[in-house]
Amino acid sequence: MAKWSEDHGFSEPLEPALPQKVQRFLDDLNEGNTGYYLLEFDNGDCYLGQSKSIADRLKGHRVNRSDIRSIRVKPDSVARTLTDPLRHLLENEATLINSIQLARLPARNKAQMTYISEQRSLDEIFKDCETTVADWLSRPAQVNRTFDADGRTVPLEPSQRAPWETSYELWCERTGDDADTVRSLYRTYMELCLPLPRRTEYAYWVLSAPEKIPYFRSISNLTIGFTEAFRLMMDTDGSLSGMVQVNGVELLGEEMSDTALVRFMRQHPGVSVTEAPYQASGPFNLLVWAPNLQSLVDLFQDATFLRSAATAAIHLMRASRAGNIRTAHNPILVDAILSDQS
């Protein structure tokens, strides 16, 4: 965000974002009060706007938003000379919002955006669908199919597709002959483990496909809130493996006994189970590690395993929405997964 702001002529962040502080800054610049501003929120989101009086506009934002961390400003010397600068401001605002989207900054703008940062709580989303978390957990496929039937809330604009398409093409090259199988696994996870995935995409969960493989060898990573939930990895020899976060009580029973763990591992030879380092979904987080693609396929045919992954996912969504990780989201990969019926 700092790099984008510098490249587009915005000021350094003014923090705290107080109207009087902004007005003093503008007075010192002596370039007028009209122009553009970029708000940054506590969770890393941003919002770009325009106004004939930036400081006064900030007052309105502060009434409705208590989580504004800072503001950057950019006076418009042309707009200040116009009798009616609104059209000029709106045109430039649209260009700046488009640039924010191309930079993959997580923005709360709605106009001109390819995807929108969802601010409703998960319970509100379920309420809109006239269903409940308990109902979803008992029949996730049916609930998702019923209430996600109107399609995704993340439209794909042609002008925004290029960076995502490049990453997706690279992902397809890496997965090679296994691409269909891997897409099927992610589709199963989205349909059976993610609540209302087409409505919660980007707001609560993201799916990355990094161009450069990181040290932990991830080639795609479905993250809920700030926690990795389903990671696909590629070893240096090209072999694929995976990791899925699950709820230990659902997987092994209330006692989470060694006997239950041994039974599970005998059912899935080669699979290992470790305690999750981050307990965002409660005290019973476990990571299930599949050493190869076939092991991962076998896990996704185990109803108890899927139920435990779904329980972990719902707890993670209740814990937090997606934050800065949104910048890594690849909607082209998600589109290929959700539309792939092979």
SS3 assignment, position 339? helix
**Quick one: average pLDDT of 174-180?**
96
Check residue 150 and give its pLDDT: 60
What is the separation, in whole angstroms, between the first and last Cα of the chain? 39
SS3 245: strand
User: Is residue 12 scored above 90 in pLDDT?
Assistant: yes
Give me the residue label for tokens 């800072």. 70
Residue 163 has pLDDT above 70, yes or no: yes
Cα separations (Å) of 4 from 7, 37, 247, 285, 334?
A: 5, 13, 40, 37, 26
Per residue in 227-237, pLDDT tens?
A: 999 999 999 99
Per residue in 69-79, pLDDT (tens digit) is 999 999 999 99
pLDDT in tens, 275-297: 887 766 566 889 999 999 999 99
Which residue in the block uniquely carries the two structure tokens 């900054």?
105
From the list 207, 213, 212, the residue with the least C-alpha distance to 322 is: 207
pLDDT value, residue 282 = 63
* HSE of 159, CA atoms in CB hemisphere, 13 A: 12
Q: What is the mean pLDDT of residues 312-320?
A: 87
pLDDT number for residue 87? 86
Inform me whether the pLDDT recorded for 121 exceeds 80. no
What pLDDT was estimated at residue 116?
45
Handedness of CA 209, 285, 189, 269 (dihedral sign): positive
Tell me what pLDDT residue 155 has: 55
Query: Which of 50-59, 140-149, 198-207 has the largest mean confidence?
Result: 50-59
Cα angle value 238/243/244 (rounded, 5°): 150
* pLDDT at res. 91: 85
- State mean pLDDT over 307-330: 87
pLDDT at position 146 is 86
User: Which residues on neighbouring strands pair with residue 325, listed in sequence order?
Assistant: none
pLDDT tens digit sequence for 191-211 = 999 999 988 888 899 999 998
